[in-house]
Structure formats: structure tokens, C-alpha cells
Amino acid sequence: MRVVAIINQKGGVGKTTTSANLCHAIAESGKKVTVIDLDPQGHLAVSLGIRLQQHGGIDEAMRGEKTIQEQIIQVRHNLQLITSGSRLQEIEQLTGNVSHRGDLLKNALQTGLDDQDFIFIDCPPSSGLLVVNALFACDEILIPMTSDFLALQGLSHLMGTVKRFEKVLKKHYTLWLVISRYTPNRKISKQVLNILLSHFPERVLATAIKETTLLAECPSFGKTILEYSPESRSAKDFRKLANDFLEGKVMYGRK
Ligand SMILES: Nc1ncnc2c1ncn2[C@@H]1O[C@H](COP(=O)(O)OP(=O)(O)OP(=O)(O)O)[C@@H](O)[C@H]1O
Ligand SMILES: [Mg+2]
């Protein structure tokens, strides 16, 4: 089982869009996927058509009040969701020794998901305790990146955090970058992409997800792009991205 955290402390870069659509595409390819909404905003659940604001989710599992099995919602064939729950924000605000609070998620995931091929974790736009929990729990980090200058600044901060965790936890994360809101006709997009390719050789997944109206629309219908517009370019891109991820297909050279 691969545990993958979708992380970027910058807001609005496409973490939740990538979580919903990539997980659905991987599930459609036949793999068993569980996706966890680790963001108190609860946008992943909404994107997948679930509106259960008062329902408990990963919050109760992290507190040890419920098991993971009790919190699972089967949302599509091969795809199960664990919602954030209404009290996840309280965990973000816990104080005290981080090493004692950082493994709540890892512990919650120990049992009950043995039959799954993948666990994905949609992280909030912060670098607080919830993201610390995701870093304790995961082996792989997938970073959605927009192609603008400030996103690059944020990425170097994130990489500093990742390096610190690798040292403290004595582990090595497999890193993936996804170009998530690509606007190919902007000069800056290509420039940022080339900087990413030179700093992260063989880590940028081969398919860039373009900024499109359809992708912006589908969350309001509680549908993924594979349902909302299955023949669209964006749906094809997410299917290709799923394949890239499963086969480790990355971009090479300058664009
Ligand atoms: N490729 C895309 N094309 C068009 N709109 C997109 C695309 N990717 C994301 N969006 C839209 O941009 C907004 C932010 O995306 P999303 O919620 O996925 O980002 P996020 O990183 O999860 O945000 P947050 O940091 O708040 O959790 C949403 O309204 C989403 O529908
Ligand atoms: Mg989000």
C-alpha cells in the first residue's frame, strides 16, 4: 500500500482538484483507493458529492474515538472517502509536544485499510499540525504546482520542511510534482516549468493539467471531471496523469 500526501501550503494551487480527479482516475484503472480529506474546509468531500458537515470523519479516528472502518464512505467503484469531520480544526489547534501529536493520523491508519492499493491525503493550505500528521503518515509527497513566481517561492519553503522531516523521522520521501493549473500561452508558465524541471529532474509528472472552465465547474455538481465531461481534454489529462503516476512517467528536458 502506498500512502501519498498531496501537500502545498500555498492555497488554491489545485490540491483538492488533483485529489478528487486523480484518485477517481486511479480507481477507474482498477486500483483500490482511499482518499482522506485532511482539510477542515471539507472541500474534497463536496467535490465528490458528499455534504455531511456534522458527520464525523478522520477527526474522530485521529482522536481514537472511532476506527477507520467506521468512518469509510464508499463514494465510487474502488474509491472510498474519509471526510474531515466537523472537529478537525480542533486538532490543528492542539498545542504541546509535536512528536506526541504528530502521529495521530499514522496510528489511525494502522488497521482497516489493508486491502487498499493507495491512500491519498488531501492536505490543508498550512504547515500546521495536520500537515505534520500527513508527513508522519506518508511515504510519498505529491505537490501540485501552479506556474507562477510566488508558487516557486512557496515550494522552496516546503522543500525545507520536507528535508527537516526526513532528518528527524529518518526516512526518505518519494517526491512528485504535478503542474496543476497550467496556462500554456503565458510566458511565465513555461519559465516556471523549466525552473522546476531543472531543480527537480525526473520528478515532474509527464502530464500538465491545464486551467479549464470545466475543471472549475465540476465541484459545484459534486462530480469529478470523469463524470462531468468524460470525453473532455481535462478528463483525458487526468486519466493520463493517473497512468503517469502508476508508471512513474515524468517530463524530461526543457519545454
Ligand atoms: N486546472 C484547473 N482549471 C480550472 N480551475 C481549477 C483548476 N484547478 C483548480 N481549479 C479551481 O481553483 C480553485 C482552487 O483549487 P483547489 O481547491 O483544488 O485548490 P487547493 O490547493 O485545494 O485549495 P486550498 O488551498 O484552499 O485547499 C477551485 O475553485 C478549483 O475549482
Ligand atoms: Mg484544498
Closest CA to 241 of 149, 120, 133: 120
Assign residue 172 a region: left if phi > 0, alpha if psi is -120 to 50, beta otherwise?
Answer: beta
Give the model confidence (pLDDT) of 107-138 as tens digits: 999 988 999 999 999 999 998 999 999 999 99
Crossing angle of the two packed helices 15-28 and 233-247, in degrees rounded to 10:
80
25 falls within a domain: yes
CA atoms within 13 A on the CB side of 160: 8
253 falls within a domain: no
- The domain total for the chain is 1
For residue 144, which atom of ligand 1 is closest to its CA? 21
* pLDDT at residue 54, as a whole number: 65
Ligand 1 pocket by Cβ (under 6 Å)? 11-17, 39, 43, 125, 180-181, 209, 211-212, 215-216, 219
252 falls within a domain: no
For residue 43, which atom of ligand 1 is closest to its CA? 17
234 falls within a domain: yes
Give the residue, by CA position, lying nearest to ligand 1 atom 10.
216
Q: Report the C-alpha gap between 72 and 240 in whole angstroms.
A: 27
Q: Report the C-alpha gap between 56 and 161 in whole angstroms.
A: 30
Whether this model's pTM surpasses 0.75: yes
Q: Report the SS3 class of residue 47.
A: helix
239 falls within a domain: yes
221 falls within a domain: yes
Q: What's the gap in Å between 238 CA and the centre of ligand 2?
A: 17
Q: Which CATH number characterizes residue 205's domain? A: 3.40.50.300
Q: What's the gap in Å between 97 CA and the centre of ligand 2?
A: 27
189 falls within a domain: yes
| The three three-digit cell numbers of residue 67, written as one number | 476506527
Q: Report the C-alpha gap between 249 and 240 in whole angstroms.
A: 10
85 falls within a domain: yes
Range of the domain at 95: 2-247
Give the model confidence (pLDDT) of 130-171 as tens digits: 999 999 999 999 999 998 888 888 899 999 999 999 999 999
